[in-house]
Structure 1
Amino acid sequence: MRIFFAIKLPPQTYKELRLITKAISKSLGERLSIFRWIPQENLHITLKFIGEIQDKKLPLVADIGKEVALSCSTLTVRSSNVIPLPSPQKIRLLALAFQRIPSLDSLVKTLNASLQKMGIPSEKRDFLPHATLARVKRGKTLPNIDLSRDIPPITFEASEIILFKSDLSPDGARYSPLYTFPLKSPINRQ
């Protein structure tokens, strides 16, 4: 089973996301056809990609998710800009980047440390909070594109983390929530 922890972008952000994708589409012009756009209901900020795991380990991973969520408070998440990844010279995807905030970094660090104790390696790369908007279709190349236009920020309250199952298919990945873990609400902060 292929799994990951994430924060799902809530439905109230979809209208703003449509405006962003419309602006990107306009600037791409003819090159728009080389992208496969991610359905809005699949948009999320990956906190930790775990990958393949044995079914028997799933309850242990879920327990870690629950513990970590209970130790973190709700987060105000705010987007910054649209970025090409992994780099402007070698674009594989377009992503909506989110501002790094100490509480989000702490959540990811705690999640990584807890999972590492059960033998799941930590990420080698620095955490870059983002939601993938579109992927470059296989076999296509893309010259540099200008994504510097002003994009209105999207802000939302993240009140839970989700452990997702990822099923790959030729049409793209399908994500199914396995467990949802509420973060501490501001009222319950200690």
Structure 2
Amino acid sequence: MRVFIALKTTSYEERLFKILEDIKKEIKGDIKWVSKNNLHVTTKFLGEIEESFLKEVFKITEETSKFSKPFSFEIKGISGFPKRDFARVLFFSIVDVDKNIESIMRRLDKDFERYHFKREESYLPHITFGRCRTSYINLDEYKFGDFGFIVNAFGLTVYESILMNTGPIYKEIETFNFHN
């Protein structure tokens, strides 16, 4: 099974999807857009695991959630990987002044490393909304309206990613709330 861990938050998908509709009208290119139901903030991508390892995934995720408190962050702006003016992955930027998300990402990275999972090269929290299939896009060529809004994070959810011809389906397996 293909698994990842993401933040459990207050709802933002509808709002982002409305912004995304405007973005789709502006950006030209061969882009695979992320569906509204698949917008999320990944904290650790594990990839293919044996179902028997799920118990350990739950244990590590629960431990991480015990060391975290509910917090807020801002979704603000648009950028891309590997860089804004040469973007292959398009995403909504996140402003997390206290670096709560980065702290969670680092902790999960450290705990899963002992099981030979690769550490992340970058701890840049974001919400992917599109992937360029054949080329890159210079996001500096576009003018997007300013937006920014606050989202509350209150836990971590373990998801299964089921790959389909029409795109992935993300199925919630288990959620662990942060401790107050």
Using the alignment, how far apart are the partners of 1:121 and 1:92 within structure 2?
22
| Corresponding position of 2:53 | 57
Aligned residue identity for 2:138: N
Using the alignment, how far apart are the partners of 1:179 and 1:151 within structure 2?
35
Per-residue CA shift, 1:79-102, capped at 9, x if unaligned? 131112223454322110111432
1:55 Cα deviation (Å)? 1.5
Q: Secondary structure of the equivalent of 1:44?
A: coil
| Corresponding position of 2:100 | 103
Per-residue CA shift, 1:6-61, capped at 9, x if unaligned? 115543x2342134213323432xx26x2232121211011011111111111011
1:46 aligns with 2:42: yes
The answer to whether the 8 Å contact 2:7/2:42 transfers is: yes
The answer to whether the 8 Å contact 1:24/1:147 transfers is: no
Determine what percentage of the aligned residue pairs are the same residue: 24
Alignment of 1:30-41 (within 5 A): 31=28, 34-41=30-37
Per-residue CA shift, 1:100-123, capped at 9, x if unaligned? 432222111111111123332321
Aligned residue identity for 1:7: L
Alignment of 1:1-190 (within 5 A): 1-8=1-8, 10-11=10-11, 13-28=12-27, 31=28, 34-100=30-96, 101-123=98-120, 125-136=121-132, 138=133, 140-145=134-139, 146-185=141-180
The answer to whether the 8 Å contact 2:80/2:91 transfers is: yes
Aligned residue identity for 1:163: V
Using the alignment, how far apart are the partners of 2:137 and 2:14 within structure 1?
29
Taking a change above 3 Å as real, the CA distance of residues 142 and 64 of structure 1, as seen in their structure-2 partners, is: closer
The answer to whether the 8 Å contact 2:3/2:161 transfers is: yes
Between 154-163 and 102-111, the greater mean CA deviation after superposition: 102-111
The answer to whether the 8 Å contact 1:65/1:181 transfers is: yes
| Structure 1 portions without partners, runs of 5+ | 186-190
Between 80-89 and 127-136, the greater mean CA deviation after superposition: 80-89
Using the alignment, how far apart are the partners of 2:142 and 2:66 within structure 1?
37
Q: Which has the higher strand share?
A: 2
1:143 Cα deviation (Å)? 4.5
The answer to whether the 8 Å contact 1:75/1:104 transfers is: no
Q: Secondary structure of the equivalent of 1:159?
A: strand
Tell me the TM-score normalized by structure 1. 0.83
Taking a change above 3 Å as real, the CA distance of residues 98 and 91 of structure 1, as seen in their structure-2 partners, is: same
The answer to whether the 8 Å contact 1:96/1:130 transfers is: yes
Taking a change above 3 Å as real, the CA distance of residues 86 and 8 of structure 1, as seen in their structure-2 partners, is: farther
Tell me the TM-score normalized by structure 2. 0.87
Give me the CA root mean square deviation.
2.1
